[in-house]
Amino acid sequence: MSLHNQRIVLASRPAAEPTLENWRLEDAPVPELAEAQVLVKHHYLSLDPYMRGRMNDGKSYAQPQPLNEVMIGGTVGEVVASRHPKFAPGDSVVGMGGWQLYSVADASVPGLLRKVDTRHVPLSAYLGAVGMPGATAWVGLNHIIEPKAGETVVVSAASGAVGSAVGQLAKAKGCRAVGIAGGADKCRYVVEELGFDACIDYKAHGDLKALLRALKDACPQGIDGYFENVGGVILDAVMLRMNAFGRIAFCGMIAGYNGEPIPMANPSLILVNRLKLQGFIVSEHMSLWPQALAELGGMVAQGQLKYRESVADGLAAAPEAFLGLLKGRNFGKQLVKLA
């Protein structure tokens, strides 16, 4: 096959904060297909915070990203060749093709490659609102926080791919939705475009006391559910405002992704307020994905679930865009356009 592939591999593990030197861009041939295999040309690559944890070699919920192999990552694209009867050239598909222009997938493995309908949902949305981030929001909200109409739900990283969906789903259930985001522009977007009831700019409230005052103003009836993406001082402030029998879904702890300790200032509040704290990994809840994606897809198609994308251009831009994601420079779902 005469197609030319490019890929980005993990060249070294970061000692603390990742740098551009941790990756390497390589040229690679596109192999001939074996029986049941499908060749996919990627149109978009998804960049997500979980990738930072995979760059380390420590014990975690998933195996580390192997050195000198293609960086893991979700992709959407088009089938260009197939030796599997259920896939044909021209099909739009979503999978885990990684940081590269083309990937070969064994389509006989259940769930490895999935056809998607782009008539009412844009292809890129299958990496965001109707993909893993949307499913993450749906599972954490519905199966851990379990909100009831009239309750207050708070979410950190509220303008991001996961957080933006959490708040909109909470509003659809009749809850008060309060976001926490970095910067006035992001907070304005969260309230004016996504429909949250309030949004707190953590950059304008730089310590625990200031954040707590802002939370008291935004959550006059306290907090019943919290969707955690950040950790650190934001978690400490939220804990002080949680109501009795509140529920916290731990999705991410970006404040500690480079190895920083994340102590909890007032763990006694877990007992005093009889809180439920639960961490979860959405890939461990695959049985819920069909229901989640069907609901999310319907909401996007009908304009009931809004989303925003930050798009970097070209595979070579992926490392810089990923570092920006970890610093909160993205606005909405971070993608890389490959075709």
Q: Which residues contact 272 (CB under 8 A, 6 or more apart)?
A: none
Q: Per-residue pLDDT tens for 283-325? A: 999 999 999 999 999 999 999 999 999 999 999 999 999 999 9
CA-CA-CA-CA torsion sign (225, 229, 231, 233): negative
Bridging pattern class, strands 333-337 and 37-46:
antiparallel
Length reported for the chain: 339
What's the whole-model pTM score? Answer: 0.92
Per-residue pLDDT at 58: 78
Q: What is the mean pLDDT of the chain?
A: 95
Structural tokens at position 72: 């893991």
Q: Per-residue pLDDT tens for 142-160? A: 999 999 999 999 999 999 9
Per-residue pLDDT at 257: 66
What percent of the chain shows pLDDT beyond 90? 90
Q: What is the 3-state secondary structure (H, E, C) of 252-318?
A: CCHHHCCCCCCCCCCCHHHHHCCCEEEECCHHHHHHHHHHHHHHHHHHHHCCCCCCCEEEEECHHHH
Q: Per-residue pLDDT tens for 54-111? A: 999 877 777 899 999 999 999 999 999 999 999 999 999 999 999 999 999 999 999 8
- Return the axis-axis angle of helices 132-140 and 161-172, rounded to nearest 10°: 50
Q: How far apart are CA 98 and CA 102, in angstroms?
A: 9
3-state DSSP assignment of residue 71: coil
**Domains of the chain by range and CATH?**
4-128+308-337 (3.90.180.10), 132-283 (3.40.50.720)
Helix (H) or strand (E) holding 24: strand 23-29
160 alpha-carbon distance from chain centroid: 8
Q: Which residue has the higher pLDDT, 1 or 27?
A: 27
pLDDT grade for 263, boundaries at 50, 70 and 90 = confident
Q: How far apart are CA 275 and CA 36, in angstroms?
A: 49
- Residues 14, 258 contacting (CB under 8 angstroms): yes
Work out the average pLDDT over 38-52.
96
DSSP state of 154: E
Select from 253, 277, 288, 255 the least CA-distant residue to 136.
288
Structural tokens at position 301: 């198609």
Q: Per-residue pLDDT tens for 230-247? A: 999 999 999 999 999 999
- Residues 211, 202 contacting (CB under 8 angstroms): yes
pLDDT grade for 3, boundaries at 50, 70 and 90 = confident
